[in-house]
Amino acid sequence: MPKIEVNEEVFYALAGCPDGAGSWKSRESFEEALSCAKAELDEDSDKSLPAAERILKIELNDTNRPDLWGTAGCARQLRMYGGGKRPEYPFFSTREKKHSAGYRVLVEKTVRGVRPYLGGFVASGRKISDPLLRDMIQTQEKLAWNFGRKRRTISMGLYRIARIKWPIIYKAVDPDSVSFVPLQWETPLTLREILKQHPKGKEYAFIQEHEKLHPLLTDSTGGVLSYPPIINSADLGAVQVGDTDLFVEITGTDQASVTLALSIVACDLADNGFTIEPVEVEYEYDTPFGKNVVTPCYFQESVFCSLARIEKYLGESISAADCVKALERMGVRSEAESGVERGAADAVSDGVRAWPPEYRNDFLHAADVMEDIMMGRGLASFRPERPRDFTVGRLTPVTLLSRRIKEIMAGLGYQEMIYNYLGSRRDLVERMNGDGGAIIRIANPMTENYEYVRDSVLASLMMSESVSGHAVYPHRIFVVGKMARLDAADNSGTVTRQYLGFLYAGTDANFNTAAAQVQTLFYYLAREYAVEESADSRFIPGRAAALIYRGQHIGVFGEIHPAVLENWGVAVPCTGCEFDAEALLA
């Protein structure tokens, strides 16, 4: 989960409590107030330091709210929850109504297949202090690393506009044809040389190194602002304490994500006293938001939630007026709406319509509105209710079977492992030589590390083996857990099953050892099975077998393909097996 460090003095001032935590009745009440942002105090400040130097460390437990990953955003939520007025941001345009912009960015069609989207604005009106600059850098890194998936889908740049000659040009170039002096460097480097020599270039080379053309941001005279998403120039791209007028831009591969991240930064700077001036972005090609987009831009859609649905979810009847008040404390503009024909879920019902704030885009369903109503009203305000129904608890058959399998695997000398159900495409598909045809992708992931639901448990086992080369061989590990995949035959379009997977790593690992382990396991489970040759790309051809139970294909075992071992950096032979444990209950 994201953790942020905030200057205590600045944070309390922005939260509407210039006297510090004392404006809350106690430290406990301050920590309780943090729950409105799904946050908690990770580490208090050092009271021996001067007030202006004290740092609070806050852990945020909601990855769907990137607007909270900075001092201004987190403080804004606490301020409104405590009764502060919801801020207005008049500088936002919409797709239908655009502000006039005195600044322009021209986006050439050459970047369409590389990094096609850009948004920007100009911030002026006050000098940048040291705490503010540190917070801006922190917000930049948190957004780019977590929300932007290590800068792959979004990255941010800050520039002093005093020397910029407008309009700015965003284009793609041959990486050997352009050179400039990057930040923290003294001599010019070409774009390709930056990827090989500069520390930031080496860190983020994986994003651009295989592309024929690389993105570049210049002013109208050809002066380089930055090489997105890698590094700014040391000339126009160096921002320092005391600077006043800034150009802020965000580039990326998804226009909605770029626009949202830009909105977050614009609102944060506006809360810090800056005047925000829009920038017109002119594309040479069509985009989801059009060819001419004035940013910052409000693009979110409103969401309706019926009072009947709210009562069903929260267990209490709440009036529309009270719902509006609760949403106001969360910074959400809303209004009561009545007697309108809805879908089957709401029928004809009274309710509230909510418009997400400019810095949020996490209202995907009526349940999201309900959650904000619950948090805005306060969890402590709900009356505890004793369960009315009496039921007898018992373990499900699949749980009993899973426990039996774990006992057998432990008896065979295997160590149980526990993993996350979510992972990256690189780990779940690419490193496993898969095609990803049945893998489930999360619609709005906050980081690429948790972008896909695992459709196999072998990838998790290979991940452990890849970092276990220092341990004495052989290695025996197993996992019993859920996996999910797309399935058009199911009503939901997906299916979730309980799987067993095990991995054996050692110089004697071969098909016979894997077959012996499978035979022993099924013997103790008292199940009959059959095998047939498998063409699974994760295994060596001719050394893999499909597991058949009652005529149904339930899994596979064999020798792991050398290409898979190389992808994971595993230096010893491995055998693996995975199968649908639930199928054994048939």
Question: Cβ(103)–Cβ(294) under 8 Å?
Answer: no
Assess if residue 88 is contained within a domain. no
Residues 231 and 254 in one domain: yes
AA letter at 394: R
- As beta bridge partners, residue 276 has 123
* Residue 261 three-state SS: helix
* Tens-place pLDDT, residues 348-382: 578 999 999 999 999 988 999 999 999 999 888 88
Give CA torsion, residues 203, 204, 206, 210, to 10 deg.
-120
Assess if residue 384 is contained within a domain. no
Question: Cβ(560)–Cβ(465) under 8 Å?
Answer: no
Alpha helices by DSSP H, 434-545 = 458-466, 511-524
Cα gap 73→377, rounded to integer Å: 20
Confidence of residue 34 (pLDDT cuts 50, 70, 90): confident
Residues 62 and 144 in one domain: no
Higher pLDDT, 56 or 563: 563
Q: Find all residues with CB under 8 Å of 409, minimum gap 6, and list them.
A: 416, 478, 480, 500, 502, 521
Q: In what order do the strands lie in the sheet with 452-453?
A: 422-423, 452-453, 440-441
Assess if residue 457 is contained within a domain. yes
Residues 462 and 314 in one domain: no
The last residue of a domain, from among 324, 350, 378: 378
The pLDDT of residue 2 is above 80: no
CATH at residue 457 = 3.30.930.10
CATH at residue 339 = 3.30.56.10
Assess if residue 390 is contained within a domain. no
CATH at residue 251 = 3.50.40.10
Residues 22 and 114 in one domain: no
How many distinct structural domains can be found in the chain?
4
Assess if residue 61 is contained within a domain. yes
Burial of 570 (C-beta count, 10 Å sphere; 0-12/13-18/19+): buried
Strand pairing report for 93-94 and 297-298: parallel
Residues 54 and 162 in one domain: no
Question: Of 9-23, 122-136, 230-244, 407-421, which one has max mean pLDDT?
Answer: 407-421
Mean pLDDT of 183-187: 91
* Tens-place pLDDT, residues 208-232: 888 899 999 999 999 999 999 999 9
The pLDDT of residue 19 is above 70: no
Mean pLDDT of 423-431: 92
Mean pLDDT of 390-396: 87
**Lowest pLDDT segment from 32-41, 94-103, 180-189, 399-408:** 32-41
Neighbours of 154 (CB within 10 A): 27
The pLDDT of residue 291 is above 70: yes
* Tens-place pLDDT, residues 96-137: 889 999 999 999 999 999 999 999 999 998 888 888 888 888
Sign of the C-alpha dihedral computed for residues 244, 249, 250 and 255 taken in this order: positive
The last residue of a domain, from among 321, 349, 378: 378
Confidence of residue 18 (pLDDT cuts 50, 70, 90): low
Cα gap 526→524, rounded to integer Å: 5
- As beta bridge partners, residue 93 has 297
For residue 243, the model assigns a pLDDT of: 83
The pLDDT of residue 448 is above 90: no
Assess if residue 385 is contained within a domain. no
Residues 218 and 261 in one domain: yes
For residue 355, the model assigns a pLDDT of: 95
**Tokens representing residue 303 in the block:** 């969401």
Residues 101 and 52 in one domain: no
- As beta bridge partners, residue 227 has 231
* Tens-place pLDDT, residues 231-289: 999 988 778 888 888 999 999 999 999 999 999 999 999 999 999 999 999 999 999 99
Cα gap 585→462, rounded to integer Å: 28
Residues 202 and 53 in one domain: no
* Tens-place pLDDT, residues 460-492: 999 999 999 899 999 999 999 999 999 988 888
AA letter at 397: P
The pair phi, psi for residue 7, each rounded to 5°, is -70, 120
The pair phi, psi for residue 159, each rounded to 5°, is -145, 145
Mean pLDDT for all residues in the chain: 90
For residue 344, the model assigns a pLDDT of: 47
Residues 504 and 551 in one domain: yes
**C-alpha angle 184-190-196 in degrees, rounded to nearest 5:** 70
Residues 502 and 581 in one domain: yes
Cα gap 68→61, rounded to integer Å: 10
Q: Which domain holds residue 366?
A: 303-378
Assess if residue 473 is contained within a domain. yes
Percent with pLDDT over 90 in the chain? 65
AA letter at 256: A
Percent with pLDDT over 70 in the chain? 96
Residues 238 and 345 in one domain: no
Residues 321 and 404 in one domain: no
Is 0.85 surpassed by the pTM of this model? Answer: no
Assess if residue 21 is contained within a domain. yes
**Lowest pLDDT segment from 439-443, 500-504, 515-519:** 439-443
The last residue of a domain, from among 249, 270, 298: 298
Find tokens 């619950």 and name the residue: 374
The pair phi, psi for residue 191, each rounded to 5°, is -60, -40
